[in-house]
């Protein structure tokens, strides 16, 4: 039996004991999983709105010119939010950047350009992810942009350079997989609403099996340059159950070449 709780939390039957992995000790998290929510639009609770990028209209906000022709396809569905406490605790100057990002979504969101999504955004984008768990190894692959994470089982020390997907180190808290993520660059966003972070972001993820086909996902985000305190998101991840389910090829870089480089043509397209 599952009980709905605030901020995407699900309470599971405490008698559930997940099957063991190859090591015979830890729960088996192998499988293809996906979040089913509106977090990639906006982590915070939000009403439906006409578009991600808006402009002032004669009687209220209207879609910006660049997304006007998308109609309802380019609109934002409402969402209950996945942030514990409801609001991201921005510093005033960082909140101003968030609002500026939102107003300039078309030009700034790295998802539009098919850049790697970063952590935690990769988890709740509207695409599946696959966990590969061996006896002493762990690997996560994402359908979007072919993103991957090769998880360390022992801490190798500070990441030598900041990257889009960062450096992840695994440990276990009972049946909960804990991933400590550092070395993330400052170029990723947390959603399509301009929520952002600095290069000092530190993410601690927790994956807890709740039943044979559910994982409770939590991520605590710390960034002293951007937020006044650490904050947390929570949501369930669901096992994909279709016959012959698999990650398909969605390497979208080639799809945005015209957007990024079309202006460099000898005769640019209209």
By C-alpha distance, which of 226, 177, 230 is closest to 203?
230
Domains and CATH numbers, the chain: 3-36+113-264 (2.40.128.20)
* Assigned token pair, 24: 């015979």
pTM of the model: 0.91
Average pLDDT over residues 93-102: 97
Per-residue pLDDT reduced to its tens digit, 217-264: 999 999 999 999 999 999 999 999 999 999 999 999 999 999 999 999
Per-residue pLDDT reduced to its tens digit, 188-198: 999 999 999 99
What pLDDT is attached to residue 235? 98
Q: Which phi-psi region, left, alpha or beta, contains residue 10 (left: φ > 0; alpha: ψ -120 to 50)?
A: beta
CA–CA separation, 65 vs 50, rounded Å? Answer: 12
pLDDT confidence tier of residue 203, bands split at 50, 70 and 90 = very high
The proportion of the chain whose per-residue pLDDT surpasses 90, expressed as a percent, equals: 89
């Amino acid at each position: 039996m599952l009980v709905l709780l605030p901020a995407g939390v699900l309470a599971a039957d405490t008698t559930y004991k997940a099957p063991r992995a190859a090591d015979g000790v830890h729960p088996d998290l192998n499988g293809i999983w996906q979040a089913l929510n509106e977090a990639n639009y906006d982590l915070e609770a939000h009403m439906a709105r006409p578009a991600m990028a808006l402009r002032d209209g004669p009687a209220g906000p209207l879609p910006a010119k660049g997304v006007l022709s998308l109609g309802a396809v380019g609109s934002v569905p409402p969402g209950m939010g996945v942030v514990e406490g409801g609001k991201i605790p921005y510093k005033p100057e960082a909140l101003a950047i968030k609002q500026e990002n939102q107003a300039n979504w078309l030009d700034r969101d790295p998802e539009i350009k098919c850049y790697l999504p970063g952590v935690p955004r990769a988890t709740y984008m509207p695409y599946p992810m696959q966990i590969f768990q061996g006896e002493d190894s762990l690997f996560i692959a994402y359908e979007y942009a072919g993103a991957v994470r090769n998880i360390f089982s022992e801490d190798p020390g500070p990441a030598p350079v900041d990257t889009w997907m960062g450096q992840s180190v695994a440990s276990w808290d009972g049946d909960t997989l804990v991933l400590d993520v550092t070395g993330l660059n400052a170029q990723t966003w947390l959603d399509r609403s301009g929520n952002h972070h600095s290069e000092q972001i530190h993410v601690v993820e927790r994956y807890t099996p709740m039943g044979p086909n559910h994982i409770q996902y939590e991520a605590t985000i710390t960034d002293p340059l951007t937020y006044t305190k650490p904050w947390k998101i929570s949501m369930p991840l669901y096992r994909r159950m279709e016959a012959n389910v698999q990650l398909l090829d969605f390497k979208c870089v080639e799809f945005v070449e015209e957007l990024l480089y079309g202006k460099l043509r000898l005769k640019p397209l209209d």
